[in-house]
Structure 1
Amino acid sequence: MMGAGKVLRGFGFVCLVLWSMGGELRAQAGKLIRIVNSNRVTGTRDVSYLGGNVVFEHEGARMYCDSAVRYLNSNVIKAFGNIRLNQGDTLTMTAHAMEYDGNTRVARAKGDVVLRDPEMTLTTQRLELDRNINTAYYTTGGTITNDENVLKSQIGMYYAGPRMFSFKKNVELLNPRYRMECDTLQYFTTSRVAHFIGPTHIYSDSGQIYCENGRYNTVTDEAMFNHNAVVKQKNIELRGDSLYYHQRLEIGYSRGNIAITDTAEKFTVYGQEGVYKGKGDEVVTVTGRPLFLSYSEPDTLYISGDTIRTVKVDSSGHRQMYVYRDMRLYRKDLQGKADSLYYTSADSAFHLYGRPVLWSDTTQITGGLISITMSGNQPDSLFVFENAFILAIESDTFYNQIRGRDLKGNFEDRKLSKVLVIGNGQTVYYVKEEDGTFIGVNRADCSNLLILFAENKVKEIKFITKPDSRLIPLGMETDEDVRLKNFENRFGEKPELYQFKDLMISAP
């Protein structure tokens, strides 16, 4: 039979081993929470009830409360009333109640929770603070105040290291100058830059912005938007694959399948790159196969070129438009081509420069400068300066011609009705019998002429001064008789509608 001494020595050894193992387990689980102060302590060693000016500490964090329950074995404290947690000199949290786990270093607070650092203040009803990775997480809705910015969301995660919030669900950013609404947002409290993913709306007094990916600097009011970006500023709407916008300076840059629309003037400019400057004259510049569409006309007006620029010139909203290099225009009743075009909405006039040419059905008009004024969105007057020339197709081989120094014309029902030739007038006019048989060509020189048209064809020529004319029988004419100086058949250059629609294939 084993002696009593041996039994006691064996029992003591077992206790020593168990005590050592328990210490190792506690060390592996986490450092014990240390009670710094409590006015009252009751309970057992495992479960202690603390009351009155309770202060406890754990690995660099000090916590205060009115009362608490300490669970020694699990290394957990449940605190109640006037909770305050200080981590270093940068992070503070207050609440009505909190459970702190010393093993996981996680605090779960509830009841009017307020988390503060030097850059922001977070308020919510429930918050989980993980001291291991310096994050705070809520799912019950929260509000963050950062200088003049107020952010709200249903779900939020705060990363104390980079001082960054990640928000999800019903996200709203409020600023004295604008309001932002989105589904997912990352916000850096130091730089005050917001990154958003998913449908995002930004509203301000001057306009609104929509996009599905981008970032916004709330300090400088600069933004970069991607994917279905739309900026609406006053009466201007900008769209593009990517878009930069400075809201304070009212400057925007867009790239990739852009569209800039003026809802007041009722036009849209498509292209691949665009620049918008809102302050002052409000300038819009588009390059990259740009296309201008005016949808205020009975028939849509298409204009293309290498560069299209519009400028608002006064408070009434009047605009000027410039089209540079290889300008082409198309409308059902009128087509044109020139190196450049200038348009002003104040007098509704188009001016074509650089080998300009206009076509209306079977009539071609050329000169040094061509101007057309509009009335009620229809052609009203025509002015051609320097080397004015009208070429009208009479048959496959015959062309009626009118030339002079300048000319002035008028339209009726969107068709050329009469033309006054001013200075150095000359004509070539094919004469027909009543049955339509050609009998000859009338060749005349006269200082000033008046030509009447019917259905875009020459109906009658009136000589204002005495002409020098002769009728040449058909077959007796020479090339010099039937080809006036500066004769040039440019009908092969006439723009077609499909050419403009090709430019719209990539339009948003």
Structure 2
Amino acid sequence: MLPLFSSAQDVINIERFREAQGVTMDGEMVRKLYDARLSTGNVEMVCDSAWQFINRGEVRAFGNIQIDTGDEMIWADTLYYYNNRDLSLLRGRVVILQDSTTLFGDEVDYNFLTKVAIFNKGIRMEDQDGTLIAQGGTYFQNQDSAVFRGQVQVADSAQYAEGDSLFVNRKNQFLQLYSNIFVADSSNNGILTGDYLEADSTGRRYVDGNGYMRRISADTTDTTHINAAELLLQEEDSTNTIFGYQNVRVWSQKFSSISDTLKYDSETEVFQLISNPKAWHKNIQLTGPYISVQMDSSEVEQLLACHKTIAVQEDSATGRLHQIKGDTLVADFTDGNISKIRIYPNSQVLYHTKNENDEPDGAVQYSSPHTTMYFSNGDLQRVLAGKNNGYFFEEFDGLADRQLEGFAWNPEERPHRPDREVAPRFDPVPLNPPFELPERFTEFLNNQEQPVEMKE
């Protein structure tokens, strides 16, 4: 065993070679070794050829390179190693295998001391959880974390995610995805987009900036769309909780709403709308400081609003606006159609009547401690009210414009079904690495269940 060179760092030793030559290149002495095995400390390398630059701490290796550091295995076509900096410039079909993680790249700068790998021209990372690709990145082995930049894509059997950059700490199972994010979750039939995504091992996902979520029901009969400045999703066991903040808009086939804050619990199927909410179901608009929407699969089962709330229903025949107001309002639905409304206390009602030809024919307005209204197929059938004060108005011009105090009817604010399909920007993640695998790496894979010998 001969010392190749020495410095303040470890000595690089020549373990074995088939042939050696001494040449002068640009006035500098260079030792060329063929079919060589080299070592330094716990690092061993084999290659087709290696050049030693006598007067400086540099080694260049070419062809079928395999490096074993004890912590990882590395393969490449070309290596420039600077001993005084523990820096290796790996070029051409670079593969780094560390535990259950395999990294692929065409141009990698690697520091043996700090265990930091910089992928300058593309990176592919594979592990038991899936595959990641990007235009570039930095992998910190000691911290088990990485930064990826440019067309970042992550895919496994159940999820796909993309963005412009990504930070991930795999030890803590924490990630941050930046700019133009898109996440598709096939297990929940969901899509998530926004400007920034943060996720961890607890099932928490936080989206900041232009948050959008689309979720298709398990029976595929209904699709819910949620837009908000911020979205927070928490998964625990089989339960999903969704929070929306700032300019929250919800649309589904049977229900839509706007509010400043939203909470949805998948176990109870309840939407809670807080701060300036409005909710719509068919021809009904409900307005109040707090609104709760109880769903039953894809159908609305109950609407509840508290504290000075008002409900407005547009008559399908006359177009007039029935108005119901009170401190608490509960509307029950059967098969998607309104069946009963309870208003208490301090109920107020303005209900427009019509004749047998479905033409406008006056109105009833009254106030009562409580009112219960029963419907059939959306039409009022009977009313039960406590002691009340009220009026019956004969039909006259302007009656259609009569309003209770606090009246709110804002069909222009009602969310609509998104008119564009949200889809990934990039092509699917390729199934295979971007280059033909190095020969020694292929041999390693074929023999990984057997003791591995460094090829001479």
Q: In structure 1, how many angstroms separate the alpha carbons of the residues matched to 2:326 and 2:379? A: 16
Residues 459 and 397 of structure 1: CA distance in aligned 2, closer, same or farther (over 3 Å)? closer
Contact 2:124–2:134 (8 Å) recurs in 1: yes
Pairing of 1:157-168 with structure 2 (within 5 A): 157-168=80-91
**2:10 aligned with 1:88:** no
Q: In structure 1, how many angstroms separate the alpha carbons of the residues matched to 2:23 and 2:91? A: 29
Residues 424 and 506 of structure 1: CA distance in aligned 2, closer, same or farther (over 3 Å)? farther
Bigger Cα displacement from structure 2, 416-425 vs 209-218: 416-425
Match of 1:216 in 2: 139
Q: In structure 2, how many angstroms separate the alpha carbons of the residues matched to 1:299 and 1:167? A: 52
Contact 2:193–2:213 (8 Å) recurs in 1: yes
Match of 2:405 in 1: 485
Q: In structure 1, how many angstroms separate the alpha carbons of the residues matched to 2:251 and 2:261? A: 15
Match of 1:328 in 2: 249
Match of 1:244 in 2: 167
Match of 1:306 in 2: 229
Q: Output the amino acid matched with 2:267.
A: A
Q: In structure 1, how many angstroms separate the alpha carbons of the residues matched to 2:366 and 2:156? A: 58
Match of 1:255 in 2: 178
Residues 290 and 248 of structure 1: CA distance in aligned 2, closer, same or farther (over 3 Å)? same
Contact 2:254–2:300 (8 Å) recurs in 1: no
Q: In structure 2, how many angstroms separate the alpha carbons of the residues matched to 1:145 and 1:217? A: 18
Contact 2:180–2:194 (8 Å) recurs in 1: yes
Q: Output the amino acid matched with 2:87.
A: M
Bigger Cα displacement from structure 2, 428-437 vs 396-405: 396-405
Q: In structure 2, how many angstroms separate the alpha carbons of the residues matched to 1:183 and 1:247? A: 23
Q: Residue 87 of structure 1: CA displacement?
A: 1.4
RMSD: 3.2
Q: Output the amino acid matched with 1:431.
A: T
* Matched residue SS, 2:135: strand
Q: In structure 1, how many angstroms separate the alpha carbons of the residues matched to 2:425 and 2:286? A: 32
The equivalent position to 2:264 in structure 1, one of 340, 343, 351, is 343
The equivalent position to 1:196 in structure 2, one of 119, 144, 151, is 119
Point out where structure 1 has 5 or more consecutive residues left out of the alignment.
Answer: 1-82
**2:282 aligned with 1:364:** no
Bigger Cα displacement from structure 2, 343-352 vs 207-216: 207-216
The equivalent position to 2:329 in structure 1, one of 407, 432, 455, is 407
**2:64 aligned with 1:146:** no
Q: In structure 1, how many angstroms separate the alpha carbons of the residues matched to 2:355 and 2:417? A: 37
* Matched residue SS, 1:190: coil
Match of 1:226 in 2: 149
Bigger Cα displacement from structure 2, 135-144 vs 463-472: 463-472
Contact 1:95–1:109 (8 Å) recurs in 2: no
Match of 1:106 in 2: 30
Of structures 1 and 2, the larger Rg is shown by 1
**2:350 aligned with 1:432:** no
The equivalent position to 2:393 in structure 1, one of 466, 472, 496, is 472
Contact 2:167–2:176 (8 Å) recurs in 1: yes
Q: Residue 405 of structure 1: CA displacement?
A: 2.6
1:350-382 C-alpha deviation (Å, 9 max, x unpaired): 100001101234321112211112332443332
Q: Residue 489 of structure 1: CA displacement?
A: 2.1
Bigger Cα displacement from structure 2, 249-258 vs 376-385: 376-385
Contact 2:151–2:162 (8 Å) recurs in 1: yes
Contact 2:23–2:32 (8 Å) recurs in 1: no
1:187-233 C-alpha deviation (Å, 9 max, x unpaired): 11121111124453323345543322111001101211011213458
Q: In structure 1, how many angstroms separate the alpha carbons of the residues matched to 2:288 and 2:211? A: 26
Bigger Cα displacement from structure 2, 215-224 vs 320-329: 320-329
Q: In structure 1, how many angstroms separate the alpha carbons of the residues matched to 2:337 and 2:347? A: 22
Q: In structure 2, how many angstroms separate the alpha carbons of the residues matched to 1:149 and 1:505? A: 38
Contact 2:17–2:37 (8 Å) recurs in 1: no
Bigger Cα displacement from structure 2, 265-274 vs 431-440: 265-274
* Matched residue SS, 1:220: coil
* Matched residue SS, 2:85: coil
Residues 137 and 86 of structure 1: CA distance in aligned 2, closer, same or farther (over 3 Å)? closer
Q: In structure 2, how many angstroms separate the alpha carbons of the residues matched to 1:257 and 1:101? A: 55
* Matched residue SS, 1:460: strand
Q: In structure 1, how many angstroms separate the alpha carbons of the residues matched to 2:389 and 2:379? A: 20
Residues 95 and 417 of structure 1: CA distance in aligned 2, closer, same or farther (over 3 Å)? farther
* Matched residue SS, 2:24: coil
Q: In structure 2, how many angstroms separate the alpha carbons of the residues matched to 1:168 and 1:183? A: 6
Q: Residue 143 of structure 1: CA displacement?
A: 1.6
Residues 87 and 371 of structure 1: CA distance in aligned 2, closer, same or farther (over 3 Å)? same
Q: In structure 2, how many angstroms separate the alpha carbons of the residues matched to 1:442 and 1:221? A: 71
Q: Residue 404 of structure 1: CA displacement?
A: 2.5
Q: In structure 2, how many angstroms separate the alpha carbons of the residues matched to 1:257 and 1:392? A: 40
Point out where structure 2 has 5 or more consecutive residues left out of the alignment.
Answer: 427-456
Match of 1:275 in 2: 198
Bigger Cα displacement from structure 2, 367-376 vs 119-128: 119-128
Pairing of 1:488-503 with structure 2 (within 5 A): 488-497=408-417, 501=420
Q: Output the amino acid matched with 1:439.
A: D
Q: In structure 2, how many angstroms separate the alpha carbons of the residues matched to 1:177 and 1:150? A: 11
Contact 1:258–1:507 (8 Å) recurs in 2: no
Match of 1:32 in 2: none
Q: In structure 2, how many angstroms separate the alpha carbons of the residues matched to 1:209 and 1:170? A: 17
Bigger Cα displacement from structure 2, 324-333 vs 202-211: 202-211
Residues 132 and 275 of structure 1: CA distance in aligned 2, closer, same or farther (over 3 Å)? same
Q: Output the amino acid matched with 1:301.
A: T
1:10-62 C-alpha deviation (Å, 9 max, x unpaired): xxxxxxxxxxxxxxxxxxxxxxxxxxxxxxxxxxxxxxxxxxxxxxxxxxxxx
Q: In structure 2, how many angstroms separate the alpha carbons of the residues matched to 1:506 and 1:181? A: 23
Greater RCO (CA < 8 Å, at least 6 residues apart): 2
* Matched residue SS, 1:492: helix
Q: Output the amino acid matched with 1:289.
A: N
Q: In structure 2, how many angstroms separate the alpha carbons of the residues matched to 1:132 and 1:378? A: 80
TM-score, normalisation: structure 2: 0.80
